[in-house]
Structure formats: C-alpha cells, structure tokens
Amino acid sequence: MCLFLYDDDPEPEERIPAGPLYVPVRPGTAEVVLRMFRTPLGDRTAVGFTRPGLLAATLGAGQPWIRLSESALRALAAPLGACPLTIDPTFTAPSVTPVPARSAEVAVRAL
C-alpha cells in the first residue's frame, strides 16, 4: 500500500471502520463457525456485508449470518490465516460440488 495520499488517489491510506457487519457463517453446525473465502489470487479472506440484502444477493437468501464489528471479525479471522477483509463483495463462484460416487450396480454393468 502506498504511504502517501495523492490528489488522484480515490482511497485513503488509513482503514476506515466499516461498522457492524453481516458475516456469513457455516450452516448446519451446532457452533457458529465463520465462513472463509478465497480472493481471485487464492488468498484466504474474511467477508462482511454492510446490509443483509447485499449478503442475500451474493450468497443466497438461505445463508446464515451473524453481526460482528469489523475489529471482532479481524480478530477472529487472523488466527485462521485470513488477514485481508473483504467488504461487500459482489461476486462469488459456486461451491465445488464433489462428483457423486458411482453405485455398485452401475459399476457391475460397466464390467
């Protein structure tokens, strides 16, 4: 990151707190577990949304979430190796789905 702020630089040098965030969590577990993502370059990142509608538009209406401050999200994500924080991403790739195992009946027919 640049140490100096230029007139044509649209972003300030310092981080501005995003305020309370809607943070996606993993569904189907008894505990609340942060859902981690990857950047286009493959780095781990924590994700937060400023509005629940943005979260639903990106991850689907059924995505569970919790409210966390930006500092709390950073503190929880840092030990997991997710230093960058992504706020309001507009695109996510679908989850990789495993190829279903071939049933024994299909395997026998193939022989």
Q: What is the pLDDT of residues 53-107, one digit of tens each?
A: 999 999 999 999 999 999 899 898 888 876 788 899 887 666 556 656 655 454 4
> 3-state DSSP: the chain helix, strand, coil percent, rounded to 5?
25, 20, 60
> In the chain, where are the structural domains located?
21-91
Do 20 and 55 meet the contact criterion of CB atoms below 8 Å apart?
no
pTM: 0.65
Summarised one tens digit per residue, pLDDT across range 7-44 is 554 444 445 556 799 999 987 767 888 888 888 888 88
